[in-house]
Amino acid sequence: MAYVLALDQGTTSSRALLFDRDGQVRASAQREFRQIFPQPGWVEHDPEEIWSSQRAVIDEVLAQAKVAPRAIAAIGITNQRETTLLWERATGIPIANAIVWQDRRTAPMCERLRADGVEPVVRAKTGLVLDPYFSATKIRWLLDTVPGARARAEEGALCFGTVDSWLAWKLSGGRLHVTDASNAARTALFNIHTLQWDEELLQVFGVPPAILPEVCASSAVVGATTPSVLDPPVPIAGIAGDQQAALFGQACLDPGTAKNTYGTGCFLLLNTGTRPVISPHKLLATVAWNQNGRITYALEGSVFIGGAVVQWLRDGLGLGRSAAEIASLAATVEGTGGVYLVPAFAGLGAPHWDASARGLIAGLTRGTTSAHLARAALEGIAYQVADVLDAMQADADIPISELRVDGGAAASDLLLQFQADITGIPIVRAGVLEATALGAACLAGLAVGFWRDSADLARFVAAGRRFEPQMPAADVERLRAGWRKALARAKAWENA
């Protein structure tokens, strides 16, 4: 068997990639799917579109590489996290659209629970904050809103899953209802210390245990595909949330190593080893992976809108036809002309956690051009990451000597140089930007012996360009002071 197949199911597209024994991508396919916005602050996906797009790219990548399923040693799944689905156990039919991680509809519910004193319990047991970002309140909303859903859930007639669970169910023809610890840890229902679904939290959020998937290891054979998907069947042997998979794929295997993925959002993770770090700055303690019976933890800062702001410039404002074109436009000016763009379209994540914040453009003058807006958007991504990095270093008390980066927006030299400048930390771009998919592939390949051990991963991760800080400290402080001023105006917008 010559390949491992990685399924990278993201927020805006589904992808499939074939990796060979040298960790190289031999074929890849991608399909976008609809983003559904029923109301301001609501974001949904059609679960069947998620599956149909993922199913299609599996066929496309095999056809592109001209290989049969028998050439695939294993499948690794990596996925957008926290996105919440409910489907009928008997038929596999979803009872509603998936509620996406970006969705803010449960913010009032979170406020009520916070007033009831629930947040300290959530923090202590899950490492998370009480926020609409996570799955628990989304599940409760669906159970309370979809007619008959709660009664069917209590009877065990419904299944809950994050997207990894949904894909495993569909790939296996309904035989597998599983998730891994890295995804379970993002629900606010999973105790990261006992590594079990937590009875107290299930009661707090009103979630019947009968709907929950079995929690499995991140690197282990949990089942196989049904012949109608791939014949002969292929083992499903790796599952990890996209950011944990990227941490693995960047070979951040030792405590103190850190990565940032510039995707739809930005997700900065620091490997903290065998202990979770509960953050005074409200960063997230999370399970990184469960491999060979050993749990690795990470400290995470989540920025809700990263590369998505570039997509908004493209689709919403028509400033360019592609992300590369917008990056080129931004590079035509030396600075933003005093313009700041705070992309709080879905509220603010770490370390601010303000669900009522909204996007803001400040500092406009008559001389502001589309190029200034494009540059301000890219710099806005970097400022958010810098805020998270400051909090992370304070909480973990672990010096970060470099930040390894991947993801689509990491292709921008302008963004990464600015990131290095305002953080004062060297930024190292991966030689291959497919770290998320590579991580999923490696977790699966290791489980079936396709690769020997994690040491093999180091030789796959060749460093690309290194960006050293160059900006004078006084300029950094002036720019970040302007960012803090714009940020203050964007906060609590819905409550003002």
Other residues' Cβ atoms within 10 Å of the Cβ of residue 199: 11
| Residues, the chain | 496
Residue 294, annotated ligand binder? no
> 225: annotated binding-site residue?
no
Cα–Cα distances (Å) from 224 to 57, 238, 291, 319, in that order, read 18, 11, 19, 45
Asked whether residue 22 is marked as a ligand-binding residue, the answer is: no
Would you say 243 is a known binding-site residue? yes
| b/e per residue 25-64 (b: at least 16 CB within 10 A) | bebbbbbebeeeeeeebebbbbbbbbbebbbebbebbbee
Contact (Cβ atoms closer than 8 angstroms) between residue 380 and residue 265 = no
Q: Is 367 annotated as a binding residue?
A: no
Could you write out the three-class secondary structure of 287-328? EEEEECCEEEEEEEEEECCCCHHHHHHHHCCCCCCCHHHHHH
Count of C-beta atoms within a 10 Å radius of residue 239: 35
> In whole angstroms, how far apart are CA 126 and each of 235, 416, 495?
30, 32, 28
**Beta strands 258-262; 403-406: pairing state:** parallel
Distance CA 306, CA 21 (A): 32
Name 143's Cβ contacts closer than 8 Å, sequence gap at least 6: 86, 149, 150, 153, 206, 207, 208
Buried b (16+ CB within 10 A) or exposed e, 370-405: bbbbbbbbbbbbbbbbbbbbebbbebbebebebbbb
The reply, when asked if residue 11 is annotated as ligand binding, is: yes
User: What's the distance, CA 156 to chain centroid?
Assistant: 29
List beta partners, residue 267: 261, 302
Cα–Cα separations (whole angstroms), residue 397 to 169, 272, 277: 41, 10, 10
242 appears as a binding residue in the annotation: yes
264 is in an annotated binding site: yes
Ligand-binding annotation for 379, yes or no, is: no
User: Is the bond into 351 cis (omega within 30 degrees of 0)?
Assistant: yes
81 annotated as a binding-site residue: yes
Q: Is 307 within any annotated ligand binding site? A: yes
3-state secondary structure of 487: helix
Annotated binding site for ADP: 11, 15, 264, 307, 408
Indicate the annotated binding residues.
11-13, 15, 81-82, 133, 242-243, 264, 307, 311, 408
Bind-site residues for glycerol: 81-82, 133, 242-243
Residues of the binding site for sn-glycerol 3-phosphate:
11, 81-82, 133, 242
- Residues annotated in a binding site for ATP: 11-13, 264, 307, 311, 408
